[in-house]
Chains A and B, each alone.
Chain A
Amino acid sequence: MTAEAPRLSCRGLALSVAGRTLLSNLDFDARSGECWVVIGPNGAGKTTLVSALAGLREPAAGEIAYDGKKISQLGPRERARIRGFLPQDSVDYFPATVLETALVGRHPHLARWQWESASDIDRARSALAAFGLAGLDGRDARTLSGGERRRLALAALVAQDPALLVLDEPSSHLDLGQQVAALDTLAALARNDGRALVMVLHDLHLALRYADHAIALGGGRAIAGAAGDVLSAPTLSELFGHRLVAVGDGTTRSFLPI
């Protein structure tokens, strides 16, 4: 247990949508270096949960803190300097180049009349390179493929340089190789860089591969804990309403539906 405050601390969180309780009394701490994965069936409220954790949605009850500071006491700009958020989908309404799009991540770090500096541009370029988009600076982002646009959104998030990354399905629109490469890049940000990750993953195999902690969400409740405890055959069988058995070990560990 480290002495420093957790990157994300969640106490007694309750969420409801249109009168339906999605979860109640959720407690967990995501610490520096940890990778939390949220799993659950469709409609369980994974997106609602991560958007509440990102401070973009008021919870029905409970408190969230970033680096020991309650988010109710942080302004939107202060939050954005600590926490980055990747929505499930993003739409480009207007033309913008790839570099401009990545530079949007620098917004919370710039003063009102300040322009992006050379170091902001370096940061955006290296984020683009980390997601395989080097050399595309001047392209209109709307001409990119679905996978490239997803990686561009990830690059903008990394350019924001948050200590806490909250991601809603970062692997969507990516093919298998790209999923692994993108998640490797993100996991390295947590493990080598002292950041914390909280992400929704749809794919159980990817969840097993990257999670050191997990939140299982479904049936109006949520269980949070170490990946080994939460991502177990009995819990997952109950969660997805279908019997699963664990097979393999280590990196080949997986669950098969019976």
Chain B
Amino acid sequence: MLWEADYSRDIVTASPHFIRVTPGRCMTVLATLGLAALAALAIALAIGSVALDGAAILRALTGADSATETAIVRELRLPRALAAFAVGGLLALAGALMQALLRNPLADPYILGISGGAAVGALAAMLAGVAALVTPGALGGALASTLIVFGLARTGAERAPWTTTRLLLTGVVVAAGWGAVIALLLTLAPDAQVKGMLFWLIGDLGGTTVASPALVTLAIALAASLAFGRDLNVLSRGEETAAALGVAVGRTTAMLCAVAALATAAAVTTAGSVGFVGLVVPHGLRLVIGNDQRLLLPASVLCGGTLLVFADTLARTIAAPIQLPVGVITALVGVPVLLVLLTRIRS
């Protein structure tokens, strides 16, 4: 063969520092991240106006403690921490899915206006006073935004992938459109509701009492995405390559878009529009663990959940007794990260 000399040169061990993702590696990474998530939840349960140690938390969880502490842990802190975990996981999952499907590391439900669409749907239902319509409204808004973004992505010449500029501009425009509708809804809203709505818009877990709908949605969305993990790996290399390798591109993309929209809608109905989790988490993880979606998706869920539990614990304690909306914390972290990423990405 003619190539003998070609590969004798030094092998540069550029990142990623591994050859491929195996089930064993998945287990190691996910177990580590799972422990981190448990630690974050434990801290969230311990910290607050009433500080609790580990033994007290365990007693409260098992209902063996005094009524006050049991109530604090089981009715206030635990639902809120679990909701934070679910919201972080949902947003990170939605971000990871969108990044793979749009083949752009800057895709994120908040930046692309998907959260905005969900917020409009949910706010409209709240204003109409029909609580039962909040979730379907959010889902409808998220799906409408997703259709706009992905629909535009397909009209490009030769279905070329989006340039970062076009992606971000579209996101800005779509988000601005939803922003106008939100402003209109806020104007129409009775004064008493406005502060609550604003908090919710920035992303706030203060009023959360139930975590189970978000957790169940997270489990369903993760399982559905994982079933298509290898298809996503192939899709993230381009639609033509994926089609040639036997992926039903149109159907799979539509299905996974719907999962991303559902995840965004569930996150938004639980906590409002929390930004940047979907951007920062998958992007950062990809640098460390690679782009194999079979690991990246569940790792994003655990890492996004952990991050939001920390962020929310910080939000409710840093300026106590004032509770900050958690979206303020994620934006304070996310905006600089996004700016750094923008300077690094090759156009």
Contacts and interface: CB of A to CB of B under 8 A. Distances in A.
A105 interface: yes
Given A110-B230, A133-B7, A140-B14, A99 B241 contact: no
A205 interface: no
Nearest to A132: B3
**Would you call the interface of chain B mostly helix, strand, loop, or mixed?**
loop
B6 interface: yes
Size bracket, chain A contacts:
35 or more
A97 B227 contact: no
A94 B2 contact: no
Nearest to A160: B245
Size bracket, chain B contacts:
35 or more
Given A51-B240, A100-B290, A140-B15, 7 more contacts: A56-B243, A90-B237, A91-B161, A97-B290, A107-B233, A139-B11, A178-B2
Interface stretch (A75-83, A213-221, A235-243): A75-83
A73 to B, nearest CB: 15
Contacts of A78: 246
A124 to B, nearest CB: 9
Given A56-B243, A110-B230, A93 B103 contact: yes
Contact of A103 (B2, B20, B294): B20
Contact of A97 (B18, B103, B230): B18
B15 A87 contact: no
B20 A100 contact: yes
A14 to B, nearest CB: 21
B150 to A, nearest CB: 16
A143 interface: yes
B244 A84 contact: yes
Contacts of A134: 7
B20 A97 contact: yes
A95 B245 contact: no
B16 interface: yes
Contacts of B104: 93
28 contacts: A56-B243, A76-B248, A84-B244, A85-B244, A87-B240, A87-B244, A90-B238, A93-B236, A93-B237, A93-B238, A95-B286, A96-B290, A96-B291, A97-B16, A97-B290, A100-B19, A100-B290, A100-B292, A104-B241, A107-B246, A112-B230, A115-B294, A131-B3, A132-B1, A137-B19, A139-B13, A139-B14, A140-B15
